[in-house]
Amino acid sequence: MDEETESRAPLLALVVLFIGAAFVTMGAVFLTYGVYVLVRTGDWPDYPVSKMLDEIGVPTPHIAGLDWLFAASACTVLLAIGVLLAVPGVWLIARRNRRLAAAESDG
């Protein structure tokens, strides 16, 4: 393997990190909008995940025990999913960089 491909981060880690960052970004957008509405009207907008899914054309699945998830705030769920996806991506990239640094110091 040549030096250029060896020093790049693994593609899977970058894809996972990118998808996680996209979810975090959308969660931040929903949170910003919620704060804007709260400041203007004094009421937090009720925007559950089920409504978000309905608006993008995805039927809300009725899974026993997960009704609370679809009733939760969309910004909270998007931020949580984003963090849960981004952390493994960051960990994979950091692990790769630690291995490269250890190989460099040994050789």
pLDDT (0 to 100) of residue 12:
87
**1 occurs within a structural domain:** no
* Domain-located, residue 6: no
Beta bridge partners of 48: 73
pTM score: 0.80
Q: How many domains does the chain have?
A: 1
Question: Whole domain around residue 94: which residue ranges?
Answer: 13-106
Neighbour count for residue 20 (Cβ, 10 Å):
20
What pLDDT shows up at residue 63?
Answer: 84
pLDDT for the residue 62? 84
2 located within any domain: no
Instruction: Find out whether 74 and 51 touch, Cβ atoms under 8 Å.
Output: yes
Query: Across-strand partners of 73?
Result: 48
pLDDT of residue 43: 94
For position 66, what pLDDT does the model report? 87
Q: Domain for residue 58, yes or no?
A: yes
Q: For position 107, what pLDDT does the model report?
A: 66
Question: Which pLDDT value is given to residue 7?
Answer: 52
Per-position pLDDT tens, the chain of length 107: 445 555 566 888 899 999 999 999 999 999 999 999 999 999 999 899 999 999 999 998 888 888 899 999 999 999 999 999 999 989 988 888 898 889 888 86
